[in-house]
Structure 1
Amino acid sequence: MDRWLSHPTALKIISIILGLLLWAVVHIDPDTSPEAVTSSFDIKTIEAARIITDGLNEEKFTLSAMEPTVVRIVVQGRISDLLKASSVEDYEVKVDLNDAKPGIQELPLILDLPKGIQLVEMSPRTVTVQLEEILTKPFELQVVAEGKPADGYIAGTPAVVSETNGVEVTLPKDDMSRVGLVSAEVNVDGADETVVNKKAKVIVYDTEGIEMTNAVVTPETVHVEVKVTPPFKTVPLQVRYTGSLPDGLSIVSIKPAIDQVTVYGEQKLLDEVQVYDGAVLDLSKVKQSGSLQVKTQPVEGIKLIEPAEVTLDVVVAPTATRTLKDTKVMINGVTAGLTALIRSPEDGKIDLTISGAESVLSALRPDEINVIADVEGLGPGVHIVPLQVDVPAFVQTVISRGQPLTVSIEILDSAAAEAEQEAAEEVGGTPSEPPPAESSDSGDGINGDNASDGTTTDTGT
């Protein structure tokens, strides 16, 4: 033994052993258990790992409910691996919805753990989900104007600036039946001009007027327009004429493409407007049949007219003439208590020549021509009274050189006229014009009590 201990190699081994013992005495904590020093594994608990869905066909279904939404998991692994996966997002808990059907169902949970970590416990291991079928339906879009325009202006009906007023709404099947209104709102508060191309959000409301925030709308926004104008009114269009046609031509017809226009102005002035006659056709510019454009000019009290132009379909033809034999002369404007008698011509009739297009003259009826002698304000005595000829549109009176358009009328006291008639009857004669009763509706206008005001104009062109 002594010889072994004295050997150099033995002494070296003993020295190494003693050095290791001394190092251990210095570095090892006496309060630390041997198991804690030598173990490299640990256990970790995640109290609320979020459940995520996988494989949901979002074009057909929507996940309306899921219970629970988080789970508790306990895992174990090397300390180094646990430290690497320290976030809750590193532990994925999934529910597979690839084969799920509409309705309520219980499905297993799938846990995807980081590398090197093992599951000890997961609670719960299943989840209850509710899937609803998704529907997409077209709806008519209603545009609503909000607010009040500036004083003296009114807002028209809002409209979508696009080819269609329809939108598509996507909702769960049960919610689709609750849709009450699909609308876009545009603000016109204080506006004094038309709101053009305003972008508005499309909102879906249920039958109780509550916004359905889960609705998916296509398109989400639309461009709308709201006319903001002064008050307006729609009235009949009456075309006026100026100038004269070239020699040898007469109007057959003038037909506007529209028969009404919209006029804008102050309300009190609009109340008085019954017809719009601001469209004027210059006949001197008509050379042949065809379409002509005339502007709708503002008239007194009217600020704007729509449309700004009117298309007229004008038909012309060569001028023809026609003579109306024995056209009766009517007397208007006789003062009460007086009687008017035509002395010349004795029969109270004249021959009248008129001109116009052949088709217009052929269709003319005798009762459409009125020849009137106006004696309003004339007292007793014999008077030469000019005649007024009332003819239809596009017909003219032709006055030949030397042809008088006058008649000789004697105005008598009614009593004297009756005495003259009685005397004529006694000798078997007939007065030149039989006096009517004091109140007559015959249309001859002899008695002033029921005579017209005598205002007759030539409407021929």
Structure 2
Amino acid sequence: MDKWFNNNTFAKILALAVSLLLWFMIHLDEVPTTPTITTGISSKVVERTVPVQPYGLDSNTYVLTSLSIDEVRLQIKGQRSMLTSIFTNDDYKVLVDLSQVKDGSNTLPLVPDLPSGVEVVSMEPSMVTVNVEKLGTKSFNVNIVPEGEPSAGYTAGTPVVAPSSLVKVTLPEGQLDAVASVQGSVSVTDAKEDVIQKKVKLQAYDAEGKVIENAILSPQTVEVRVPVNQPYTKVPLRIKYLGQLPEGLVLSTVEPNVKEVSIYGSQGVLAGIQSYDQATLDLTQFTQAGTSTVDVDLTPPSGSEKIEPSSIQIKVTVSPYDEVETTTKVFPNVPINLVGLGNGLEGELVTPKSGGLNITLTGSRIMLEDLNVGDIKLTGNLKGLGAGTHEIKLEAELPRFAKLDEASNDLSSTVRISEKAEETTAPPEQNTNEDNQTTPDPSPAEVENGQPGTDPVEEQDESNTEHQDQSQQGNVPTNRGSVNNNFNTSNNGSKSGSNP
């Protein structure tokens, strides 16, 4: 071995070998490394089914009523990394084009919509049956239903709908006939004033009151106002007169611009109001003949809250007495009111049997046309009269523009006054012996006709009757009151006997 190392030729060969080895080692690192490409192609079945997504339907003309399937199962292939990490099942879609469908049943191909680099191996099913139906439109009135109850004493009125009460309902033509109504609701619970809602949602209902979910409404909302009012009553307007006209002038016409007024308040207060007679016309403001218009403010009756209208206009025509067209009018069976009866006494009308008299009035034809029986009052004053039968004079209270006709000047009636029976705490014992039965008191008709049991006072003539009455009561005048055929009903109820 030592010989080899000492030999120059061997040393040179060794040095050359080492040099070559080093060169190869240095240049070996500079050679580019070629990567190993692994093309792992694999297939994968999507774990979840893919939904079918329709598109392209003309929604103004048709509506999709059914799909034979709504999901398909896909088998796809692609690079493993793409199938496992990059894309999810939401990236896989199956589409069906409805742009060319016709009314009825259509069988159409399904088209997968997949991410780039992914291919379909299989799709089941590949076709779908689509049913579409032509749309129809029909107009309906809006029905607004108030919900709840307003505050005590208030009532909800008829809802007012804006901008229009008609709503268009769009449905498949075969379902339009099922629509029974279009409704919305507004709460009026505890309301004391009008309820206004800007957007009230509307829905279509069938005959059973169920909502038709797929109905398309236009408009979908409306503005609604629900009036909330107090209870009220409409009553006739009666004009009262204050003061007097100058001598020689009379009322020819009195024409208020309304015939009725509305009075608002509680039910208890309204129940007792039959007319409104607090509109007063002051006659002293008319100094000469002519026509004028007078404004009169109206005050709510006691206990009520308001009156509508709050003021009225009265057209008044004043004419000379000899220029007024006069006429007569008969008012049948004007009721007689008995007043002034003493304590412990009770009275009843013997005549007239009907309890009223026919009254004939004379006055302006136009003014008399508006009168009725309620505008005339007949009063019989029984003050100072005791038990017995009496003929009394009646007082007539008439409107200022009318007077009693000569046919009605003699106003009288016959009244029977008797003592009230004493009240007992126990009922009287009944006598079963027919021999001891008492004769019942005669009726007014029996008294007047002179039947058995008639009061002997009534069997006498009129003069004897008055004489006996006076002997029982002292000096009682036969004329109990004069006829007041022209009166002034002012605010304090005073009367005047002069003619306007």
Shorter-chain TM-score range:
0.5 to 0.7
Partner amino acid, structure 2, of 1:266 = S
Aligned to 2:320: 319
Report the TM-score, using the length of structure 2 for normalisation.
Answer: 0.57
- Does the 8 Å CA contact 1:258/1:310 hold for their aligned counterparts? no
State the 1:319 CA deviation.
3.1
How many equivalent residue pairs? 366
Aligned to 2:173: 173
State the 1:248 CA deviation.
9.0
State the 1:217 CA deviation.
2.4
Aligned to 2:271: 271
Residues 249-264 of structure 1: matches in 2 within 5 Å?
A: 251-264=251-264
State the 1:269 CA deviation.
2.4
Residues 256-405 of structure 1: matches in 2 within 5 Å?
A: 256-281=256-281, 289=291, 293-305=295-307, 307-309=308-310, 311-312=312-313, 314-316=315-317, 318-321=319-322, 394=401
Aligned to 2:133: 132
Q: Which moved more, 1:241-250 or 1:115-124?
A: 241-250
Report the TM-score, using the length of structure 1 for normalisation.
Answer: 0.61
Deviations 1:296-324 (A, max 9, x none): 3201232222x334553615355343699
Q: Given the superposition, is the C-alpha separation of residues 143 and 113 from structure 1 closer, same or farther in structure 2, using an over 3 Å criterion?
A: same
Aligned to 1:112: 113
State the 1:19 CA deviation.
6.5
Aligned to 1:101: 102
Partner amino acid, structure 2, of 1:312 = Q
- Does the 8 Å CA contact 1:145/1:158 hold for their aligned counterparts? no
The structure carrying a bigger strand percent of its residues is: 1
- Does the 8 Å CA contact 1:77/1:117 hold for their aligned counterparts? yes
Deviations 1:30-50 (A, max 9, x none): xxxx9xx63154434334222
Deviations 1:89-110 (A, max 9, x none): 4333221112212223322222
Deviations 1:5-29 (A, max 9, x none): x999xx78x958x969xx99xx99x
Partner amino acid, structure 2, of 1:200 = V
Alignment partners' CA distance in 2, 1:197 and 1:247: 62
Deviations 1:107-152 (A, max 9, x none): 22223333343332221111122212222222111222222233x4
Identity %: 28
Aligned to 1:186: 186
Alignment partners' CA distance in 1, 2:306 and 2:137: 45
The 3-state SS of whatever aligns with 1:177 is helix
Alignment partners' CA distance in 1, 2:368 and 2:484: 27
- Does the 8 Å CA contact 1:232/1:263 hold for their aligned counterparts? yes
State the 1:66 CA deviation.
1.5
State the 1:77 CA deviation.
3.6
State the 1:207 CA deviation.
0.6
The 3-state SS of whatever aligns with 1:268 is helix
State the 1:244 CA deviation.
6.3
Aligned to 2:146: 145
The 3-state SS of whatever aligns with 1:164 is coil
Q: Given the superposition, is the C-alpha separation of residues 116 and 203 from structure 1 closer, same or farther in structure 2, using an over 3 Å criterion?
A: same
Q: Given the superposition, is the C-alpha separation of residues 62 and 78 from structure 1 closer, same or farther in structure 2, using an over 3 Å criterion?
A: same
Partner amino acid, structure 2, of 1:303 = E
State the 1:212 CA deviation.
2.0
Q: Does 1:232 align with 2:204?
A: no
State the 1:86 CA deviation.
0.8
Deviations 1:382-410 (A, max 9, x none): xxxx998987665699xxxxxxxx99xxx
The 3-state SS of whatever aligns with 2:299 is coil
The 3-state SS of whatever aligns with 1:121 is strand
Partner amino acid, structure 1, of 2:169 = V
Q: Given the superposition, is the C-alpha separation of residues 294 and 80 from structure 1 closer, same or farther in structure 2, using an over 3 Å criterion?
A: farther
Q: Given the superposition, is the C-alpha separation of residues 304 and 417 from structure 1 closer, same or farther in structure 2, using an over 3 Å criterion?
A: closer
- Does the 8 Å CA contact 1:256/1:310 hold for their aligned counterparts? no
Aligned to 1:75: 76
Stretches of structure 1 lacking an aligned partner (at least 5 in a row): 1-5, 29-33, 325-331, 337-353, 364-369, 380-385, 398-405, 408-412, 420-446
Aligned to 1:443: none
Partner amino acid, structure 2, of 1:225 = R
Alignment partners' CA distance in 2, 1:297 and 1:63: 67
Alignment partners' CA distance in 2, 1:286 and 1:108: 97
- Does the 8 Å CA contact 1:137/1:168 hold for their aligned counterparts? yes
The 3-state SS of whatever aligns with 2:212 is coil
Alignment partners' CA distance in 1, 2:107 and 2:483: 98
What RMSD over aligned residues (CA atoms) do the two structures have, in Å? 5.3
Partner amino acid, structure 2, of 1:93 = V
Stretches of structure 2 lacking an aligned partner (at least 5 in a row): 1-14, 327-335, 339-346, 349-361, 370-375, 386-392, 411-456, 465-477, 489-498
Aligned to 1:217: 217
Q: Given the superposition, is the C-alpha separation of residues 457 and 362 from structure 1 closer, same or farther in structure 2, using an over 3 Å criterion?
A: closer
Partner amino acid, structure 2, of 1:127 = V
Partner amino acid, structure 1, of 2:266 = E
- Does the 8 Å CA contact 2:103/2:134 hold for their aligned counterparts? yes
Aligned to 2:55: 54
Partner amino acid, structure 1, of 2:304 = I
Alignment partners' CA distance in 2, 1:198 and 1:453: 68
Q: Given the superposition, is the C-alpha separation of residues 375 and 201 from structure 1 closer, same or farther in structure 2, using an over 3 Å criterion?
A: closer
Aligned to 2:203: 203
Alignment partners' CA distance in 2, 1:164 and 1:71: 47
Partner amino acid, structure 2, of 1:231 = P
The 3-state SS of whatever aligns with 2:110 is strand
Partner amino acid, structure 2, of 1:172 = P
Deviations 1:181-224 (A, max 9, x none): 22222222233444344653223221111122222223323333
Partner amino acid, structure 1, of 2:168 = E
Alignment partners' CA distance in 2, 1:267 and 1:126: 73
Partner amino acid, structure 1, of 2:205 = Y
Q: Given the superposition, is the C-alpha separation of residues 49 and 235 from structure 1 closer, same or farther in structure 2, using an over 3 Å criterion?
A: same
